[in-house]
Amino acid sequence: MYFPQPLLLICILLILTERVHSQSAKGPGISSCAFADFRDSECMFPPLPISELPPECTSFIYNAAIIYDNYTIGPGISGADYAILDVLLKSGTDVHVYYGRPYTVDWCIMLENVSTNSLREMESIKEFFKDHQGIAGLIISGMSYGEFSPECKKFTETFKIYLDMLQKTFPNLAIGLDLFGYNLIDQFNNPMREWLDFKVLDVSVDYYAVDMQSFNPCSPEFNTGIVTKSGNFTNYTLDILTDVLQKMSIPKEKTYFKFNTCPDENTYTVTDCDLTNEMNLDEKPDKLSLNLRYPQSIA
């Protein structure tokens, strides 16, 4: 499940959602910003007021809310808490929340008795929305298989029942799916287990949030960025992903891409609190991964 731990805001783990065609009517907008303020708690920096968030943010993303086995909903293990969420909800800007289960196997267990368990979960979500009023959308997370994840039986069929119940219970809620670019390529080109059929699910989904932050490893081959349009030195390029998205029936008008505009360190020799956007890959190509460039649109 995707729970990053950005430490510097204005590094906001800015999730830049690049519009690829016409925007989904219930999507997060062309430049949605994820906010998890660790400046004061971990870096001992002054907290950044919500009023200083970029006005270009078309919506804010809170990361994350987890539904547990007993159907209670709690903050993700990223260090964020609901105080941040509640402040965002008072900002006047739409707020979308990453929501789901830690692992695919947790979804599999819940979906074994999907009708009964979904009804119970809807009640928990109602209470969650009552306590945190104004949430515009949920980005459903935790459905991507890990390397050793067991196969979810009737995954598409049961997951659609869940999505339809969510849609029926909260008709004004935007429903997004959290996906990973590299995982989509692997799942299509080298499927180890039967996964989700998006042609079936699409009617129940408002948008797809495709994570590109770990698309390729930070290495000298990617010293201009880990997201490349083409190349014979990697299996993960935008050209390959374009083809996979089309063949998996994921509509481009509903597709948004997530890019990290924060500095990222992969050697543990520099803490996240020490990194700034002034550092770049040309200075330390073997240590820093800065995805600060806008990617080319997927046509």
245 pLDDT higher than 50:
yes
Other Cβ atoms within 10 Å of 119 Cβ, number: 11
Residue 192 is predicted with a pLDDT of 86
More confident residue, 102 or 263: 102
- Tell me the average pLDDT across 236-243: 93
What average pLDDT does the chain have? Answer: 79
- Tell me the average pLDDT across 177-185: 95
More confident residue, 210 or 79: 210
Residue-by-residue DSSP string for the chain: -------SSSSTT-------SS--TTS--SSEEE----HHHHS-PPPPPGGGS-TT-SEEEEEEEEE-TTS-EEE-TTS--HHHHHHHHTSSS-EEEEEE-SSHHHHHHHHTTHHHHHHHHHHHHHHHHHHSTTEEEEEEE--S--TTPPPPTTHHHHHHHHHHHHHHH-TT-EEEEEEEHHHHHHHHHS-SS----HHHHGGG-SEEEEE-TTSS--SGGGTT-S--S--SS-S--HHHHHHHHHHTT--GGGEEEE---S--BSSSSS-GGG--TT--TTT-TTTB----SPPPP--
**Class of the CATH-defined domain 26-280:** alpha beta
**Roughly what angle, to the nearest 10 degrees, separates helices 155-169 and 114-131?**
40
Residue 74 is predicted with a pLDDT of 84
Listed by start position, the domains of the chain span 26-280
pLDDT in tens, 76-99: 655 457 888 898 999 999 999 999
pLDDT band of 283, cuts 50, 70, 90: very low
124 pLDDT higher than 70:
yes
pLDDT in tens, 137-174: 999 999 998 888 899 999 999 999 999 999 999 999 99
More confident residue, 283 or 80: 80
